[in-house]
Structure 1
Amino acid sequence: MDNDTDMSYKLDKWNSDLARGLIPNNVILSLYIITGFMGNSIVILIYGFKMKGNKEERYFIPFLATADLWASLVCASFGIALNLMQAQFNNTHLCKAWWFFAAFTTFCSASILLIIAVHRYLKVCRPLEGQMTLKWKRFALCLALALAFTLSVPMTHFYGSVPFPNEEEGIVGQRCSRLKSTNKTGSLIFGGIFVLVTVVVIISLISLYSRIGYTIITHFKYPKRTAKPKSNIDTAGNSTTADNSQVVHSSSDNQLSETETGMHSVETDNTELSGVVQSTASTEKTSGVKRTPNSTMNGKAIVFKSSAKRRKEQTNKKVVHKFTLLFMLITVIFLVCYIPKVIIMLLEARNPRFWEEFSDFARPGILFVYRMYIINSITNPIIYAFLDNQFSTEMKKMVRICK
C-alpha cells in the first residue's frame, strides 16, 4: 500500500512538473479560444445576418467561420487538457472523442477552403462557362461534411490513452496519443490515406490559386480597352462602322460581367434604351440623315453600353478579384499552419516513442509548432476586417451600438 501511495505521489509530481513547463502553451491556447470565439462569432453575425443584398461573393464565409469557431474551441481546449494531463490522461473514451471532434472540425475547414478555391477558379478563370449554383454549393458543403466525417472516424480506432513511462523515476503514466497496440498495417494504411488526402488538398489549392493569380495579374497588366461611344454621327456609313466595333465590345463585356458577378440591372438597361430612341430622333431631325433599321439598332447598342454601365462592370470585376485575393491569403495561412502538423504526425506514426524522446525543455516548443494549425481558425476574421470594407463598416456599427 505504501508502495502504491509512493508511486501515485511520484506520478502526481511528475505530471505537475510537466504541466508547469507547459503553462506558456496554456496561456497561448487560452488566447486562441477567446480570439477564435469572439472573431468567428462576429463574422457569423455580420455575414450571416447583418449584410444585405447580393451575397454571391460571401456565400461560403459564414460556413467557414462556423467550422473555424468549433475548430478553435475544440482543438485549443483539447490542447489545454493534454497539457494538464500529460502523464495522467486515463480516460481513453474521452481521448478518442476529443480526437474525433478535433479532426472533424479541421477537416471541415480544409474541405470548405478547397470548395472556395474551386468556386473562385470558375468565377475568375472560367467566367463564361458553368458556375456553381446554389444547389451545387449546398451539395458541395454536404460533401465536405461527409468527407470530414469519413476521415475522422478512424481517429477513434488509432488514438487513445497509451503508456507514458518515466525510466528515471521508474513510473508509468498515461497520455492521450496514437495507440501502439493497434494493427500496424492498418495504421500505415490510414496514415497513407491521410497523407494522400492532405497532399491532394495542398496541391489542389496551390494549383487553383496559381492559375487564379496568373489570370488576375494578366487582367491588370493587359486590361481590355473598351471604345467610347461617339455622340455625333456624321454619316450613316461612319455610324455603322463605329457602332459595329462597339457592339462587339458590348457583347463581350456584358457576358463577362453578368457571369462573373451575377448582377445585371434590367431597369437600368431599359432606361438607357429609352434614351436611345430620343437621341436617335433628335439626331435625325438636326442632321437630316435618314437612319436605317440596322444603324438604329447599332445606335441602341452604343447607348446600351453607357459609361455608367462600364464603371459598374469594372467595379464588379474589382470586387471579384478582391475577394479572390482575400481567399488566397486565407489559403496561404492555412498551408503555413497545417504543413508542420502533418510533418509531425508523419514522424509520430513512424516512431512510436516520438513524444517520449523529447526532453521537458524541448517538448513545449514542439507542441507549440504542432498546434499552430489553430492559428488558421482565428486569423480569418482579422483578414476580413482588413480586406472587406463592408465587413469593417458593419463591425464599426456594432462597436458604436455596444458603446
Structure 2
Amino acid sequence: MADANDTELISFNNGFSWNVLNSDVNRSLLPVTVILGLYLLAGVIGNFLVIFIYVFRWEAPKTDRFFVPILAVLDMCACVISAGVGIYANMNIVRFRSDVLCKIVAFLGIFFVKMSGDLLAIIAVDRYLKLNKPFEPQMSFRWKKISVLIASVTGLLMAMPALFTYGVIPLKHPGTGDMGWLCANSNTPHQKHITLEWSLKVCYQFAMLFDVLARFVGLVVCYFHIGKKIYKHSEKRCQLRLQQGQNVPNRPICVNKRAEETELDVLSSNTGRETTPSTIVRMSRQSSRFDCQRVRLTMIFMLITVIYIVTMGPKLVIMIADSVLERFWTIEPTPKFGILRFLYTCFIFNNVVNPFIYGFLDRRFRSELYKLFTRSHN
C-alpha cells in the first residue's frame, strides 16, 4: 500500500503522536469497550449454562435437543472472539501489530457468525416441517447432523476470503515517519482506477450481505407460515366453541403446565376425524395448551427475526460503505467514531441473547437451572 494512502484514515495536526492518538481514542471508546465486556461476560455465562443444562442435566430425546447446544457453542465462541478482540482493538486501535492475528480473528469471527445464522435457518426449516407438514417426511437425526456439517463447510467457504481481505494496514506519519498499525478490511487504497483486487474484495463484501439477507428472507417465510398455521388453528377452535355451545368446556388459557414441552405436532392431528363429544373435549384441551404456546412461539420467532436483522444490519451496511466510499473511516476521538464502532460490534448482541431466547424462556430449562443452583447451595 502506498504511503500516500496509508494515512487517509487519520487527520494529522500539530504535535501528532500515535501513542497520544491511541490513548485519546481508547478513552473515547470506553463506553463501547464496557459494552463489549458485558457482551463477553453474559455471552459466555449464558451459553455455558445452556450447554450444561441441555447436555448433562436434561433427559430429553436427542432429536429434541440436538440443535440448541450446538447453537450455544457457536454463540459462545462468537462472543469470545468478537467481543474479546473488539476490546483489544479498542485499546490498541492504531497499535495492532500482528497481521496473522488480525487475519485469524476476521476468519473465525465470520465463520462462527455465519454458522450461527445458518443454524437458525435450519431450526426454522425443522420447525416448519414439524408444524406445517406433520404427515410428510421430517428431518431425521441423521439429516440434522448432515445439515450441521453442510453449514460448517459453507461457513468455512464464506470465511476463507477474509484471510486475504483483512490484515494490518501500516500507517506512516508524513512528517516524522513514525509508524502505526490498524487491523481492518484492507480494501483501501481508493485509487483513481479500479483494480481487479479491489473489485474482488468489494464483491466479497456484497456476497456476505446477500447471504445474510437471503437467510433473513428464509426465516421470515418459515415463521410467517408457522404463524398462519397457528392462527388458523385458533380460529377453528373459536368456531368449534360457537357451534357446540355448552358441550365444550370453557377452560382457562395455559391450563396445562407442560404446554411448552410439546412441539405443536398435533395441530393437524385431528384432520379427517369424526367430530364426537369426546373428540371435541380433547381438541379443546389441546387448544387451551396452544393458546399459551402460540404466544410464546410468536414472541420467540419475532425476537429471533428482529434481533438478527437489527444487529447484523448495521455491521453489513458499514462494511459495504467502507468498501465503496472513500475515507468512510476517520480514526479520531469523536462521538461519530464511537457510534460507528458501537454499530459495527452490536451484532454480538445476537449471540448473547440467543441463550435467553432458546433457554431462559423455556419453563423446563428454568426449572433445571433452579435445581442446579439450589442444590449447589445445600
TM-score by length of 1: 0.73
Query: CA 1:95 to 1:107, structure 2 compared with 1: closer, same or farther past 3 Å?
Result: same
Shift of 1:58: 3.8
Query: CA 1:324 to 1:50, structure 2 compared with 1: closer, same or farther past 3 Å?
Result: farther
Among residues 199, 202, 207, which one is paired with 1:188 in the alignment? 202
- In the other structure, the counterpart of 1:198 is 212
Amino acid corresponding to residue 339 of structure 2 in structure 1: G
Q: Confirm whether residue 16 of structure 1 aligns to residue 23 of structure 2.
A: yes
Alpha-carbon distance between aligned partners in 1 of 2:171 and 2:145, rounded to the nearest angstrom: 45
Alpha-carbon distance between aligned partners in 1 of 2:73 and 2:65, rounded to the nearest angstrom: 14
Amino acid corresponding to residue 150 of structure 1 in structure 2: L
Greater C-alpha radius of gyration? 1
Among residues 366, 372, 375, which one is paired with 1:392 in the alignment? 366
Among residues 322, 331, 350, which one is paired with 1:376 in the alignment? 350
Shift of 1:207: 1.8
Q: Confirm whether residue 93 of structure 1 aligns to residue 93 of structure 2.
A: no
Q: C-alpha root-mean-square deviation of aligned residues, in Å?
A: 3.4
Query: CA 1:169 to 1:222, structure 2 compared with 1: closer, same or farther past 3 Å?
Result: farther
Alpha-carbon distance between aligned partners in 2 of 1:400 and 1:110, rounded to the nearest angstrom: 34
Alpha-carbon distance between aligned partners in 2 of 1:103 and 1:261, rounded to the nearest angstrom: 39
Alpha-carbon distance between aligned partners in 2 of 1:128 and 1:42, rounded to the nearest angstrom: 35
Shift of 1:64: 1.0
> Structure 1: which 5+ residue stretches go unaligned?
1-6, 229-256, 265-297
- In the other structure, the counterpart of 1:140 is 147
Question: Secondary structure, in 3 states, of the residue corresponding to 2:118?
Answer: helix
Q: Confirm whether residue 32 of structure 1 aligns to residue 6 of structure 2.
A: no
Query: CA 1:361 to 1:149, structure 2 compared with 1: closer, same or farther past 3 Å?
Result: same
Alpha-carbon distance between aligned partners in 2 of 1:330 and 1:380, rounded to the nearest angstrom: 8
- Aligned 1:82-231 pairs, distance under 5 A: 82-164=89-171, 172-179=179-186, 180=188, 183-223=197-237, 225=240
Alpha-carbon distance between aligned partners in 2 of 1:169 and 1:217, rounded to the nearest angstrom: 69
Shift of 1:189: 2.3
Alpha-carbon distance between aligned partners in 2 of 1:354 and 1:77, rounded to the nearest angstrom: 25
Contact 2:82 2:348 in 1 (8 A): yes
For these two proteins, the number of residue pairs brought into alignment is 334
Alpha-carbon distance between aligned partners in 2 of 1:95 and 1:386, rounded to the nearest angstrom: 35
Q: Confirm whether residue 346 of structure 1 aligns to residue 360 of structure 2.
A: no
Contact 1:164 1:175 in 2 (8 A): yes
Amino acid corresponding to residue 327 of structure 2 in structure 1: R
Alpha-carbon distance between aligned partners in 2 of 1:27 and 1:168, rounded to the nearest angstrom: 35
Alpha-carbon distance between aligned partners in 2 of 1:50 and 1:13, rounded to the nearest angstrom: 52
- In the other structure, the counterpart of 1:330 is 304
Q: Confirm whether residue 59 of structure 1 aligns to residue 73 of structure 2.
A: no
Query: CA 1:8 to 1:161, structure 2 compared with 1: closer, same or farther past 3 Å?
Result: farther
Q: Confirm whether residue 76 of structure 1 aligns to residue 50 of structure 2.
A: no
Contact 2:18 2:94 in 1 (8 A): yes
Amino acid corresponding to residue 52 of structure 1 in structure 2: E
Query: CA 1:56 to 1:64, structure 2 compared with 1: closer, same or farther past 3 Å?
Result: same
Contact 1:15 1:86 in 2 (8 A): yes
Contact 1:90 1:174 in 2 (8 A): yes
Deviating more after overlay: 119-128 vs 63-72? 119-128
| Partner deviation per Cα, 1:88-139 (whole Å, 9 max, x = no partner) | 1121111000101111110111000110111111122222222111111111
Deviating more after overlay: 160-169 vs 301-310? 301-310
- In the other structure, the counterpart of 1:280 is none
Query: CA 1:258 to 1:29, structure 2 compared with 1: closer, same or farther past 3 Å?
Result: closer
Higher relative contact order (CA 8 A, sep 6+): 2
Contact 2:230 2:294 in 1 (8 A): no
Query: CA 1:193 to 1:141, structure 2 compared with 1: closer, same or farther past 3 Å?
Result: same
Amino acid corresponding to residue 189 of structure 1 in structure 2: C
Shift of 1:303: 11
Alpha-carbon distance between aligned partners in 1 of 2:359 and 2:214, rounded to the nearest angstrom: 30
Contact 2:131 2:263 in 1 (8 A): no
Shift of 1:183: 0.7
Contact 1:74 1:101 in 2 (8 A): yes
Deviating more after overlay: 76-85 vs 206-215? 206-215
* Sequence identity percentage: 30
Shift of 1:13: 2.0
Amino acid corresponding to residue 104 of structure 2 in structure 1: A
- In the other structure, the counterpart of 2:339 is 365
Q: Could you say which structure has the higher helix fraction?
A: 1
